[in-house]
Structure formats: C-alpha cells, structure tokens
Structure 1
Amino acid sequence: MDPSPSPSMDNPTPNHAQKHPRNLFLRFGNFKMYSDGNLELAAPTSTAAADKSCLPEKGLEFDLIPGVLPPSTAKNNQLFLDQDSSFIPNNGFSSITGNVVYTGFDVGSTSNVESGPQFDLTWLQELLKRGDYVEINSLLLIMQGSYLQLMTDQSLSIVFKKLVGACRGNQLDLIVEDVLLSSQSFINAAFCKQGASSICKLIKRVKNPSHALAITKIFSTQFWAIMTDDTATSVMQTCFDCFHQPNKVLYEQAILYCQELAKDKVGCISLNELIEKISGEERQRLLKAIAACSVELSFHEYGNYVVQSLLALKKEPQVSSSVVLGLRGRIVELSQQRGGSHVVEKCMMASDLGLVYVVKEIIITPRASLQLAQDLYGNYVIQKGLKETKVRRLEWLCELLMKSLEPYRRELNQTKGGKIVLGFLKDEGAIKGPTTTAYKKNNLVWRRL
C-alpha cells in the first residue's frame, strides 16, 4: 500500500509534520494512521476499500459526538459512516468522508505489507515517552478494541506495557474497561508469556477498586486453571500482591480447592506463595482447611511441600500443633519416604511438642529406631532427633533414643545410614556431630535424593 497521502485528503497538521515526516503508518480497516497523527482513507485500489462486502449493513446508526472517536461498535466490531457523513475529531486527525469502516488496531503479521500493521516501534515508544496527554488520548482512541491483541503479540506487547505506564488520570480506566469487555479473552491472555506479563503490568497500575474487583471476579471463574499453570499463575500472584479487599473472591476459591491445588506440581507452589500473602479471616480458614487434610498431603509427592509450609509458620503454633497431632501413629511410616521425612523433621523443628511426639513414637514402636537408622530417608529423622533433643536440653529424651539404638550397633554398622547414626552415639555426638572415620567417609555419598 502506498504510504503517500491521498490528494483528496486534508494536509497533515503542521506541528506533527515537522516532528515526524509522514513515512510511517498503521492500518485500521479501510484507513491509515500516519506517524504525524493523521487518518486517511486507503487507496482506492486496496482490497479493503474496493470490497463492499466488508462494510456493515447500511442504516446502522450510532451517536456522533463532535471531537470524539465513537467508542462503541455497531457490527462485527465495525462502525459505519454514511456516504455523505463527515467526522472531524479535534485531536489533529484529518477529515474523514465517504464510506469508512473502523475496525480497531489490526494486529496481523508485522512483515506482511498488505495484511498487517506497518509501523515504527521506535516512533511509538518515543510518543509514549513524551507522555503528552493529548497524544496519548488520541492513541488510546485509535487502539480501542485492540488492547487484548496488543497484550499477547510478541512484538507489540512492549508497546502495551509502555502505553499503560504512560497513562495519566482516567486514561488507564479506558484500557481496563476495554479489555474486560471480553472476559474469556482476558483470561486466555494470561496463559501466554506476553499476555501474562502485560496483565501483570496492568494490575500493578490499577487503583480503581471496582476495576480491581472486576479483574479478580473474572479470574475466580478459572481459578484452578490459572493457579496450576506455570505462566498464568504469575497473574494471580500479582493480584495477591497488589489487591486486598478485591482478593476475597479469590481467597474463597483457594479455600475450596486447597487440597487439589496442593497435589498439583504447579499448584502446590502457587498455594505456598498464597500462604505467605493471605491475611484476615480467610487466612485462618485456609490454614485450617489445609491442616484438616495434612495427613493425606504429607504422603503426597507434591502435597508434602504445602504441609512443610504450615509447619514452618512460627507465628501460628496452633496450626503446626494441629498437623503434628494429626500425624500421630504415622510417623515411622512417613519417615521412610522422601518428602515425608522432611515433613517429620519439620514437625520436630516446629515446637518442643512436635519433637517429643516424634521421638516418643519412634522409641515405643518396636525396632523402629533400627528401621529408620538403616533407611535411606529415615536416618535423617534419627539424626535430627538426636541433635534437637540435645540442643533443647531434653537430655532425658535424647538418652531414651540412644538407648533404643544401642542394641543394634552390629546391624547399624552394616549399612551406610547406620554408620552415620553410630557416629552420633559417640560422646557429645548429638551436639558436636560424629567424628569417626566411617562417618566422614560415608557422609560424602549418603544423601537424601
């Protein structure tokens, strides 16, 4: 398409022409926007101008407000001006006459001259950097209806972010209201890298409580899918960081789906991040809901990470106590699992009550101390028990644990894990650590995977 101005159109605004030569343009349906801010009809030879089938039915009406680009759509996201209509905005654009279709920003292939927008990103970024309120207003009006496409386009998403950053006053409201018109498209944008990054940028700038609530309500409809997706979860976490009251609708979904989230590879990470951020009544309800299913989660390959997070909450000892009490009778079994052994160690670290419960259960269970000392994962539980009982001056409990191991010295000396535990049975071993050659040699290769 020939970028030169049509002879029938008005001359460009002088000030714009001086700053930006008219050699760049964007395509919008049947007209072009030049880098100087002027609009022109496409050349008569263009397919879009010649093909009348692209026009909406005649007779469609909409209100024309002088100086304001029509914000609403008539048919298929298109607006129609009659043959004799004349629309003259007050933002520096040229007059527009004849049959015109306004389709918004066509984000097609940036390499195809005929099908995609032709523009200079440098020019757009310079315009946004200047931050001129009137210029940005003009750009917002032209791009109306196309923000979601901008957000997800690999090349243009940077323009959207800069546009959001340049908005002042109620300009950001125009973008938010536009993108929220299509809630499903807004959600879909969160699942691609560029879209998620663009949404996060938008959320960080939203100050209007009604807009924040509208965003969280939309995301709540696909809460599970977003929280369990590697890319989309960043959008949800940004909501948790930036909003407060509007997040309540998301918190309710987290409480409802906490067990399922904890069992998901991505969901368990998202849930742990939420545990760090959630507050108020919803926090207590969420923690209580997770604690109620903590036994099952402790044995799960992903769920155990969430239980560990609960046990690490030093300011909420009632939560860790609830988990410890729920695990009574399952300590020895759980200690022999990779993730479960970490949970048991966290139980001992959470409180003196947790330490006493764990060590006592090992002591009173027949041959449990030997079984765990020889186990790939269980030996770490025994080591932690010996260390913590000594450090916390629970010598009576430490002595009972060592006595339960004493009869099995020969058996312990036959396995790598057993030899490590034997090192702890030396004088002061529980506090200073083992010093035997056998321990030093095997400690280099005996690792919990």
Structure 2
Amino acid sequence: MNPSPSSSMDNPTPNHAQSFSLRFGNFKMCSDGNLELAAPTATAVADKSCLPEQGLEFDYKPGVFPPSTSKNNQLFLDQDSNFVPDNGFSSITNNVVYTGCDVGSTSNVESGPQIDLSWLQELLKRGDPVDINMLLLIMQGSYLPLMTDQALSSVFKKLVGSCRSNQLDLIVEDVLLSSQSFINAAFCKQGASSICKLIKRVKKPSQALAITQIFSTQFLAMMTDDTAKSVIQTCFDCFLQPNKVLYEQAILYCQDLAKDKVGCISLNELIEKISGGERLRLLNTIAACSAELSFHEYGNYVVQCLLSLRNEPTLSSLVVLGLRGRIVELSQQRGGSHVVEKCMMASDLGLVYVVKEIIITPQAPMLLAQDLYGNYVIQKAFKETKERGLERLCELLMKTLEPYRRELNQTKCGKIVLGFLKDATTAYKKNTLVWRRL
C-alpha cells in the first residue's frame, strides 16, 4: 500500500475491530494506546516508571505510528496479531506515516507498515521539545544500533542536533552504558560519524571525560584505524582537560603509532594539536627514539614532522645528535633522505653536523652524489650552505667532490650534482655571496 501525496489530507477511519500491538525499541504499543515494555527483563529500562501516561506523549490513534529503530527502518506488528492497518497520517506533522508493507526477513509477519523517514525528518526539523522527548523515550536503549545503521544514522545525527542540553544528557548517558559497543561503533563509517556529531555537542566536562576515558582503553586500536581515528581527532578538537587521559596513552604508545601506516598520520596530527606539559613529554619521547624511527618506512614521517616544528631547536638538536654516525647510511634511503634534509633545514647545528659527517666519511660525497636518494641530500647541502653564507663548509664540500667529476658525469644523478658544484664554484670565485665564518 503506497499512498499518494494527497492521501495525507484524508484521515482514514481506523480499524477498531481487531486488537493489535506494535513493537519498537524497548516498547510495545497496543491498539488501546497503552505503552508497555516489550521485554520485561530488559536492562535498558529497569521499571515502568519511565513510561508515559496513555495519550500524554504520543497522542496515539490506530493507524498512526511512531518511528521505529527496528531493523531495516521498519515497524513490526506483533507476531500474534493479524491486523494490517490502513494508511494514516501523523497527528503531529500531517504527513503520511508509513509507505510500504515489506517487513523483511526478521519477522514472521508477511506484511506490515514501513516507516516513512520523512516523518522523522519533519518532526526533528520542527524541534518541538515534546516531540523530541517522545523520540528519546522510544529510542531509549536503541541509540547504538541507530548510530551504526546506514539509513538511520542520519536520523540520530539530526536528533542530536535538535536536542536541548537536558535531552542530550539522556542520549550520552544511554550510549555510555555499553562502553564496548560504543567503542565498536567508532570502527564503522556511520558509527564514527554519529559519535563525532555527539562529541561536538557535548559541553559538560564530566561527560567529555567519561567519553575520553572509554576511548583511552582502546586508544592504540582506534588511532591506527582509518575510520576510528576520526573519533579521537574530534575529541582533540573539541575537548581540553578531558583529553589528558588520551594524551597519556599517546605518550605511552607513540613509538607503536609512529610505526603504523595509519598511526603515523594520527600521531602527526596530534603533534600539531597537543598542548601543555603533555606536549613536551610527547615530543621528547619521540625525539629519544628518533634514530630508530628515522630508518622506519612510516616512523620517518613522524621524525620529519618533529624537525619541521618551528621554535623547537632543542628537539632538532636531539634528533641530529641521535643520528651521528648514521647520516650517510640514512641518506641512501627514500624516507631517510628526507629526514637528513629536514635536519639541515632545522638549524645551523643540524646543517654543520650533516655536512661535516658527509665530508669526513671516505668516498661518502661521491657515493651520495650518484645515489637515487643521496643526491638530493648533496643538492640540499649546497643550497643551504650557499644561502646561509657558510663559506668554509661549502668550500670543503666542493673540494671533496672535485676529484670525482669524471665518475659523476657518467650517471644521471651525478650530472645533476655537477650542475650544483659548477654553480657553487662560480659563485665562490666571483665572490657574489656574502660569506660568514662559523
């Protein structure tokens, strides 16, 4: 039965001859308008004190149905009932309440009404507190399935956006009752989006802390998941003090995060946002293991992020000092060469340490100049020493490469370095640069 738009203007005559009931959420609504617990043992509702008086909240009439959180977005007739109601309209919105008959494979009933989501959309758009209270009562204990449902997650987000402070409290308290289910929801696209919407609306520190404490128990798993990490990042964006429990986990697991394909991105994003004493502790912890991370396929990105921070000379010095004796080796790796370049760019100390180690290592200048990745390090060394006016350092680097012009001219990478060498030699002879001694 698919009503036409005009049918919403006609109030059908309800069928009072047969007794029936509808199940939705934790409740069962009978044809006489009474609302009862669908499952007396349900933990979500301890007693019937939360049920509204007949007609008080729902303004119920046969043929007019409240929304359902049942599977497939559908309302289900009680299995003991043979009643199939006529099309009706909502006494609240004057819109058609249901549009179909298919109840899916989860019911033994062959036909029954299907909810029209436009009814919910209109109700939520109006934002009437009484209507919102009705929905909150119906959906009590069913928010988590609602949050993760592909079709109904949008309804949850609109509901959260329409709630007042005291109404939002009911949702937060409900979803936090099942902490593991709350965490699980963060690992699916719809669930993560729903949780992010909820987090953005939470203002009470106690609720924010409860949320971050729950997520802290699975911090590493969430930060290394493409979907769930958005939930943690939203906490970082929206909360302050409650994030301290998450910061502690970041410090504890920073090395594991740095070595993960997704975790290294999450950690870099955190580095940009973290503040206070936890920030210094996190950065120092990463710097302490930067030598190992620099050689890792993902960890090197975190070290690069550390070296790119402005006004952090102590950190860059710690990284450079930790890499002493391994600069040439690191320069021949794809990610490692970027780390070495960042070391030179971070400070004069880093530039001096890198260039001097290359110069004093036998055949290192020629080896790096012909290497697929190392040649970029040599190019950066010439560029930085020239721009900063480090005459002696640039001159030493030129002299170490001069004997290998023939070998360099035989490789593609070597020819590129020869171009830099030629420019540096010409500039030096013409004295066009303003040099300064260290």
Q: Which amino acid aligns with 1:298?
A: S
With over 3 angstroms needed to count, the CA separation of the structure-2 counterparts of 1:4 and 1:141, relative to structure 1, is farther
- Between the aligned partners of 1:385 and 1:164, the Cα distance in structure 2 is 55
Contact 1:386 1:430 in 2 (8 A): no
Q: CA RMSD in A?
A: 3.2
With over 3 angstroms needed to count, the CA separation of the structure-2 counterparts of 1:338 and 1:161, relative to structure 1, is same
SS at match of 1:353: helix
Of 146, 159, 163, which residue of structure 2 is paired with 1:167?
A: 163
Deviation at 1:112, TM superposition (A): 4.0
Equivalent residues in 2 for 1:46-445, closer than 5 Å = 56=40, 64-65=48-49, 68-69=50-51, 87-88=53-54, 90-94=56-60, 105-108=69-72, 110=74, 112-113=102-103, 115=106, 118-428=114-424
Task: Deviation per CA, 1:42-69: give whole Å up to 9, x if none.
Answer: 9xxxxxx9xxxx8648xxx96554xx42
The residue number in structure 2 matching 1:20 is: none
With over 3 angstroms needed to count, the CA separation of the structure-2 counterparts of 1:168 and 1:92, relative to structure 1, is same
Q: Which amino acid aligns with 2:142?
A: S
SS at match of 2:225: coil
With over 3 angstroms needed to count, the CA separation of the structure-2 counterparts of 1:33 and 1:206, relative to structure 1, is farther
With over 3 angstroms needed to count, the CA separation of the structure-2 counterparts of 1:257 and 1:63, relative to structure 1, is closer
TM-score (norm: length of structure 1):
0.78
Deviation at 1:6, TM superposition (A): 5.4
With over 3 angstroms needed to count, the CA separation of the structure-2 counterparts of 1:30 and 1:279, relative to structure 1, is closer
Contact 1:31 1:39 in 2 (8 A): no
Q: Whose RCO is larger (CA < 8 A, sep 6+)?
A: 2
The residue number in structure 2 matching 1:14 is: none
Contact 1:196 1:232 in 2 (8 A): yes
The residue number in structure 2 matching 1:19 is: none
Q: Which amino acid aligns with 1:106?
A: S
Moved >2 Å (runs of 4+): 3-6, 25-34, 38-42, 54-57, 61-65, 87-90, 92-96, 104-112, 114-118, 427-432
With over 3 angstroms needed to count, the CA separation of the structure-2 counterparts of 1:397 and 1:274, relative to structure 1, is same
Q: Which amino acid aligns with 1:150?
A: L
The residue number in structure 2 matching 1:31 is: 28
Q: Which amino acid aligns with 1:120?
A: D
- Between the aligned partners of 1:26 and 1:163, the Cα distance in structure 2 is 21
The residue number in structure 1 matching 2:16 is: 7
- Identity in percent: 74
Aligned residues: 379
- Between the aligned partners of 1:91 and 1:218, the Cα distance in structure 2 is 34
Q: Which amino acid aligns with 1:284?
A: L
Q: Which amino acid aligns with 1:176?
A: V
- Between the aligned partners of 2:30 and 2:293, the Cα distance in structure 1 is 58
Gaps of 5+ in 2: 2-11, 63-67, 75-100, 108-112, 429-438
Q: Which amino acid aligns with 1:142?
A: I
- Between the aligned partners of 1:313 and 1:253, the Cα distance in structure 2 is 22
With over 3 angstroms needed to count, the CA separation of the structure-2 counterparts of 1:9 and 1:182, relative to structure 1, is farther
Task: Deviation per CA, 1:305-344: give whole Å up to 9, x if none.
Answer: 0000000011222111110111111100000000000000
Q: Which amino acid aligns with 1:88?
A: Q
With over 3 angstroms needed to count, the CA separation of the structure-2 counterparts of 1:4 and 1:430, relative to structure 1, is farther
With over 3 angstroms needed to count, the CA separation of the structure-2 counterparts of 1:319 and 1:204, relative to structure 1, is same
SS at match of 2:325: coil
Gaps of 5+ in 1: 11-24, 43-48, 71-86, 97-103, 433-449
The residue number in structure 1 matching 2:7 is: none
- Between the aligned partners of 1:396 and 1:355, the Cα distance in structure 2 is 13
